[in-house]
Amino acid sequence: MTVALASSPQGRSEDPNQAAPPRPLHNHPAFGQMVQQRHLMVLTQIISRDVNDPNVLAAMRVVPRHAFVPAALQGQAYEDYPLPIGKGQTISQPYIVAFMTAALRLQPQSRVLEIGTGSGYQAAVCAELAREVYTIEIVDELAQSAARRLKELGYLNVFVRTGDGYYGWPEKAPFDAIIGTAAAGKVPEPLLSQLAPGGRMILPVESEQGLQYLMLITKAKDGSLSQKRLLPVQFVPMTGQVNAPGQARQ
């Protein structure tokens, strides 16, 4: 059901746990393009909305968002709205990417699980801050294209899998942070179990009234969970097991 598409450099083990993965490379020409647009995006869309984590701001200035959107839309890559990437999916608004990343409080040794790879942009932003990013995409064509794109751009600490994100990535658990980029009626139980003690999870959750909110879930050292509703959002729906009968909304 799943195929791992690890972006591993030649000569390294395919198992990222065998050695510390390299930091992202910034040698691709895309990093030198549209630099001023990225700086303006950070200033007017992100800092102006009180996202001030310096590491997150630096990542948003570095990652070339235009490389993650279709060529016809690259001129709009740094505007204040999501963009379609095909297969009914979107790349999220830059502010939302920054807000969700900041909420995770990533550290250099953090191991991140992302549900919903999409274009790979959110994974790249997390990869600038964290040690490893494991990302799952249910649409195989998107998973394949994101894996190629991330490898070409030098994100060798990102590992892509085709599969149902409801189940997470148990063989690589626990994760210090989990981020979801598609809305579900409830938080999948496997993801809660794969969150490490002291870890943080953020994802959009849809209420019975059909409204979506970003939910921040923290797991204490003793394993107890707490939830906090953050801000209203609009994400594409999560598909797969999360929509099976018996999966009641929260």
Q: Is 92 a known active-site residue?
A: yes
What pLDDT, on the 0 to 100 scale, is given for residue 16?
Answer: 44
- pTM here is 0.88
Q: What count of other Cβ atoms lies within 10 Å of the Cβ of residue 106?
A: 27
Read off the tokens for 88: 């009914």
Q: Nearest-5° angle of CA 189, CA 194, CA 200? A: 95
117 sits in the region (left: phi over 0; alpha: psi -120 to 50; else beta) called alpha
Choosing from 7, 8, 92, 145, which is the catalytic residue?
92
Enumerate the domain spans of the chain: 80-243
Alpha helices in 176-237 (DSSP H): 189-194
Assess contact for 86 and 139: CB atoms under 8 A: no
What pLDDT, on the 0 to 100 scale, is given for residue 238?
Answer: 80
Q: Which residues of 166-180 are buried (b: 16+ CB within 10 A; e: fewer)?
A: bbbbeebbbbbbbbb
CATH topology of domain 80-243: Rossmann fold (3.40.50)
Q: How far apart are CA 9 and CA 161, in angstroms?
A: 17
Sign of the alpha-carbon dihedral angle for 128, 98, 62, 155: positive
Listed as ranges, residues in the chain with pLDDT below 70 are 1-21, 242-250
Point out which residues pair with 175 in neighbouring strands: 195
User: What is the helix (H) or strand (E) element at residue 197, kind and residue range?
Assistant: strand 195-206
